[in-house]
Structure 1
């Protein structure tokens, strides 16, 4: 009996069976081990943050990107039509109307080869030549041939089926508003699209 009392209990000498984890082992593992669901959550959170940063960077990039300069292509239809009408009158020996119509057609033909409408980020400017040189001051109202879109009150393009005349009114030249008329010596569809984009909507429908 004495030996039985002095000997340690069996449960203290008993080795843990397979599958039994000693006390304290679970605590250590629970502190050091990362739960799979936690990993998934962290991964998704990181991916979400990365996506947010990418979206913000994309938005900043779009805002920083400047609008491209647009120069509508020249269109010779109006001067060709006028010269054709003048030729028809001249063929019938009707020189009285043929002379002024022919001169107007010739003038517009020359202007078509040299005048360019340049739409930059903030303004419409009239320039000359393929090198887009300065056109000088406006001979009718004075001042530079450059008008900011923000000063446009309204604009129109006549007529949608066959654009002949472009009109716009701006407050840059005069506070009460200055009206401008230009013959459409450019691609009417291109002119309408860029005016709509830069100067805002108009009641005139797009060229056909």
Structure 2
């Protein structure tokens, strides 16, 4: 399902994305949940490492709950609630990649002036479909 922003409301549809619509990715809690579960036995064996892993898992859970990625016709936008916190225009992208296709955990993209690594906290299939449509790999 894809959320297309129309005016001030979000329209949900099951159609494939097109470059003219805005697609909002649904959150995925897979990585945070795995980290928190992994931290439980680590807390017994190595308490400090287990604590750090659990804390990181909870931080990623918070990020998945609060951040929204939207693919518009021209940009990848990151929102916290209704506030736009970062915009990445596709015209500045040089390359992108999703690491470990079987179990996608990391999204990389390179802009003209910077490189970004993001944990996959969003639906990886929709992420890949939007990337392939809006920013074909170089």
**Which TM-score tier does this pair reach, normalised by the shorter chain?**
0.7 to 0.9
The correspondence for 1:162, drawn from 92, 103, 110, is 103
Q: Secondary structure at the match of 2:24?
A: coil
1:8-66 C-alpha deviation (Å, 9 max, x unpaired): xxxxxxxxxxxxxxxxxxxxxxxxxxxxxxxxxxxxxxxxxxxxxxxxxxxxxxxxx97
Mapping for residues 196-207 of structure 1, pairs under 5 Å: 196-201=132-137
Relative to structure 1, the CA distance from residue 186 to residue 66 in structure 2 (aligned partners, 3 Å threshold; closer, same or farther) is: closer
- Deviation of 1:96 (Å): 2.0
- Deviation of 1:134 (Å): 1.8
Which residue of structure 1 lines up, in the alignment, with residue 32 of structure 2?
A: 79
- Deviation of 1:188 (Å): 0.5
The structure that is helix-richer by fraction is 1
Relative contact order higher in (CA < 8 Å, ≥ 6 apart): 2
The correspondence for 1:69, drawn from 10, 16, 22, is 22
Which residue of structure 2 lines up, in the alignment, with residue 36 of structure 1?
A: none
Larger Rg: 1
Mapping for residues 183-202 of structure 1, pairs under 5 Å: 183-201=119-137
Does the alignment pair 1:115 with 2:67? Answer: yes
- Deviation of 1:155 (Å): 0.4
Q: Counterparts of 2:42 and 2:99 in 1: how far apart (Å)?
A: 26
Does the alignment pair 1:149 with 2:99? Answer: no
Q: Counterparts of 2:111 and 2:45 in 1: how far apart (Å)?
A: 45
The structure that is strand-richer by fraction is 2
- Deviation of 1:117 (Å): 1.0
- Deviation of 1:201 (Å): 2.8
Which residue of structure 1 lines up, in the alignment, with residue 46 of structure 2?
A: 94
CA contact (8 A) 2:19 2:133 kept: no
Q: Structure 1: where are the runs of 5+ without partners?
A: 1-64, 136-144, 172-176, 203-208
Q: Counterparts of 2:68 and 2:116 in 1: how far apart (Å)?
A: 16
- Deviation of 1:178 (Å): 0.9
Q: Counterparts of 1:71 and 1:121 in 2: how far apart (Å)?
A: 12
TM-score computed with the length of structure 1 as normaliser: 0.55
Q: Structure 2: where are the runs of 5+ without partners?
A: 1-17
- Deviation of 1:133 (Å): 2.0
4+ long deviations beyond 2 Å: none
TM-score computed with the length of structure 2 as normaliser: 0.82
User: CA RMSD, aligned part only?
Assistant: 1.6
